[in-house]
Chains A and B, each alone.
Chain A
C-alpha cells in the first residue's frame, strides 16, 4: 500500500466546480424541460443560462491548464488502445467479482486507466463541447435565425440538447458508481478531495 499525490489543487478545484455546474445544469435543464417543478421556470432558465457560461469558462480554463502544464499527456496512450480498453472492460465485467487486482496500476505519471482516458477524452473533447455548442445555438437562436438559420431548426436543436443531457446523466450515474471500485469504496473520492490516494503497490 502506497500513498501517491494524484490530483493537483487546480484539478480538484476544476473537477468539483464542474461537477456542481453539471449537476446544476442537469437539474435546471430538466425543470425547463418540464419534468418537475423545482425552483420555478424563470429562475431555472436564468440559472441554467448562467451555469452554461460558467461551464464554458471552466472548460476553457481546464484546456489552458492541461496544455500549459503538459498534463494532457495523462490522456495519451501508447500501443494497442483497444486491447488495453478490453482488458479494463474485462476487469469490470469479470475480474472485479473475483477480487482480481486492477489491470493497470495508478502512479504519479499515469493516474488514468485506458477506459478512463478514452471516456474522459470523448467527454471533454466531444460530448461536453457538443452539448455546449448546441446549448448556445439554442440560447442565441433568434440571433442565428437573423443570420439566416432556418427557424424550423428549433425543435431538432432542442431534441438534440435533451438527448445529450440524458446521455450525460447516464455518464454521471456510472461515473459516481465507478468511484467505489478503487482500493476501498471511498478511496477514489477521498483522492479527489485531498489529492492523495492509496494505491496498490
Chain B
C-alpha cells in the first residue's frame, strides 16, 4: 500500500522544482525506415522476379523461405474462423449468429472474401492446404491488393467489374516484391469493412482510420509529429497469432505495464499506460477499478463515417412496379432501403451504450432456443457491479430483425448469395426457399415455418481513442439523465441520492430559512409596537 499524500505531492513538487515536463509519447515511437525494419529486401529476391498468375502461386514462392509461415497461419482464427470456448461452445465467424449477414454457411464465396486464404467456396475447402494461405492480404505494402467481393478470397486476376464497380487486375509480382509488416490499410481491408461495406459493423473501425486525424484516433494519427501507430503496435503479433479478440476480451487488466514483464494481453490500454495513468488528477485513477479507459476516452464512435445501427431483414424483397430492385438512399448517400437486404438505419457520432462487463460474452448459437416474445440478445456482455472484475464498458449495440424458425425457436441460416434458381435470397427473393436451402446445406433441421424476431448484438468499443482534451467531461455521467442514467449497482455522485436524506435536508434547510424569517418578522412587529429598533 502506497502513501497517498507522499505519492501524490512529492513527485509533483520534485518535477516542478526540476522544471521538467513529461516526455512526449512521440519520442518513444521514432520513425523507422525500411532498413531499420527488415534484414531482407524482397525486391532483390529471385523467386519474386516474375509475373504471378494466381495467389497460391505467390504463396508457394513465400513458403520457399518462410517454410513454417502457412502452418502458423493455420492455427489462427484468421484461418479457421473457429474459436472453441471454455464453456464448450464453438464460436468464430464460421459458427456465430450475427444480425448483419446472419451466417457464413452457404454464402462462402461472398463472406470468404475476408478469409486469409484462397478458394473457400463451400464446405469442401481444405483447411490443411498451405498454398491456399493468402500472405499478401496482410503483408501488401503497396495498398493495391484487394480481394474481389464474391471471389472466395481471390483478388482480381484480370480487370473485373462487380456490381458496377471496377476491380483492376492486381500486379501480384509487384505486391510480392513490396511486402511489409501489416499496416492499418491491411487489417482495415476486412476489419474496416465488416458487414459488407465501410463502417457498417464495428462503429469504432472504418476506413477513416487508414489515415486518421489526431482527434479521431490519437494513437494512429499519421500526420507529422503524430504517433502513427499501426494495429499491430497494440495487437502485438507473434507467430501470426494476433492477440485481442472480441471472443475472449480482456475487460480488466490488473497486470498493468507490460514492461519489464509482459502478460498475455498486450492490447489493453494499461499494457502501455499502466494502472495509474492520470498524472494530474489522482481522483481519475480511482475510476480505473470500475470503469474501462474506453468509456471516457472514446466519447463517441463513428465520428467521421456513419455506422449501421439497424438492419431489418423482414422488409426485404420489395420491388418497384416494374419488378426492379429498389435502392433508397438518404441525403448523405447511405442506403436506407435495399431490396436484397431490407431497411437500414445509420448514425454518425454515436454515444455508445454502457454495461458492466467482466470479459465474458454470453453468446447464443444456432442451437440455442430463443424467447421470441422479446428482443433476442445475440450476445450480451456478462458482468455486474458487485463483481469486482466487472468494469463499465462502452458498446455499439446493433439492432435489427432477422429470420428464425417459429417452431423450433432457433435462428436459421438463409442462403443469401448464389445464382438464380439456387434458392439464394439475393437472386430468387423467396425466404422460405432460401432458409430451406441454407439449413439443408448446413445439415440442420428446419420446420418449414419462419418469422422475424428483433435482435440486438453488442460490439465492445476499443478504437477511435480521442486526445485527452476530448475525453468525456465528468458531468456526462455525474449528472441526472447522464450517460450512465440506466446503469445500476453503484453510487454515482451527481446522479444518485437517498430520498430520506434529501427530505430531511429539505426540511432542515427550508425549516431554518422559514424559522428565522418568521422569528425576524415577529421581532420586527413586536419591537415596532414598542417603537424601538434594538435592545436597550
A7 to chain B, nearest CB (A): 20
Residues of A within 8 Å of B511, CB to CB, are: 170
A38 to chain B, nearest CB (A): 11
B494 within 8 A of A: yes
- The interface stretch among A110-118, A120-128, A141-149, A189-197 is A141-149
A40 within 8 A of B: yes
* Complex contact B289–A142 (CB within 8 A): yes
B79 to chain A, nearest CB (A): 44
B474 within 8 A of A: yes
With A143-B4, A159-B498, A173-B516 in contact, do A41 and B478 touch (Cβ < 8 Å)?
Answer: yes
Q: Which of A101, A163, A173 contacts B536 (CB 8 A)?
A: A101
A97 within 8 A of B: yes
Residues of B within 8 Å of A46, CB to CB, are: 281, 283
Q: Which of A41, A140, A155 contacts B498 (CB 8 A)?
A: A155
* Complex contact A33–B494 (CB within 8 A): yes
Residues of A within 8 Å of B496, CB to CB, are: 155, 158
B22 to chain A, nearest CB (A): 20
Q: Name A40's closest neighbour in chain B (CB-CB).
A: B475
* Complex contact A142–B286 (CB within 8 A): yes
* Complex contact B497–A184 (CB within 8 A): no
* Complex contact A183–B512 (CB within 8 A): no
* Assembled-state Cα–Cα distance A61/B274 (Å): 39
Q: Name B519's closest neighbour in chain A (CB-CB).
A: A177
* Complex contact A174–B515 (CB within 8 A): yes
Q: Name A154's closest neighbour in chain B (CB-CB).
A: B491
B521 to chain A, nearest CB (A): 11
Residues of A within 8 Å of B508, CB to CB, are: 166-167, 169-170
B534 within 8 A of A: yes
Q: Name A167's closest neighbour in chain B (CB-CB).
A: B508
* Assembled-state Cα–Cα distance A147/B497 (Å): 26
With A41-B473, A151-B388 in contact, do A97 and B504 touch (Cβ < 8 Å)?
Answer: no
* Complex contact A163–B504 (CB within 8 A): yes
B311 to chain A, nearest CB (A): 37
* Complex contact B475–A163 (CB within 8 A): no
* Assembled-state Cα–Cα distance A182/B523 (Å): 13
B160 within 8 A of A: no
* Assembled-state Cα–Cα distance A51/B523 (Å): 37
Interface readout for B493-524 with A: 1 if CB under 8 Å, 0 if not? Answer: 11111100110110011011101100110110
Q: Which of B494, B501, B527 contacts A163 (CB 8 A)?
A: B501
B535 within 8 A of A: yes
* Complex contact B286–A141 (CB within 8 A): yes
Residues of B within 8 Å of A132, CB to CB, are: none
B360 within 8 A of A: no
B202 to chain A, nearest CB (A): 30
Residues of A within 8 Å of B478, CB to CB, are: 32, 34, 41
With A34-B478, A151-B388 in contact, do A97 and B1 touch (Cβ < 8 Å)?
Answer: no
B315 to chain A, nearest CB (A): 43
Residues of B within 8 Å of A142, CB to CB, are: 286, 289
* Assembled-state Cα–Cα distance A64/B421 (Å): 94
Residues of A within 8 Å of B262, CB to CB, are: none
B526 within 8 A of A: yes
B479 within 8 A of A: yes
* Complex contact B479–A34 (CB within 8 A): yes
Could you tell me which residues of chain B, from 284 to 300, have a CB within 8 Å of some CB in chain A?
Answer: 286, 289
* Assembled-state Cα–Cα distance A33/B494 (Å): 4
A23 within 8 A of B: no
* Complex contact A184–B533 (CB within 8 A): yes
A11 within 8 A of B: no
B530 within 8 A of A: yes
With A32-B478, A169-B512 given, name 12 new contacts (CB 8 A): A42-B473, A45-B283, A46-B281, A99-B527, A99-B535, A142-B286, A154-B490, A158-B493, A159-B498, A166-B508, A173-B513, A173-B516
5 A/B residue pairs, CB under 8 Å, sorted by A? A33-B493, A96-B535, A170-B511, A177-B519, A200-B536
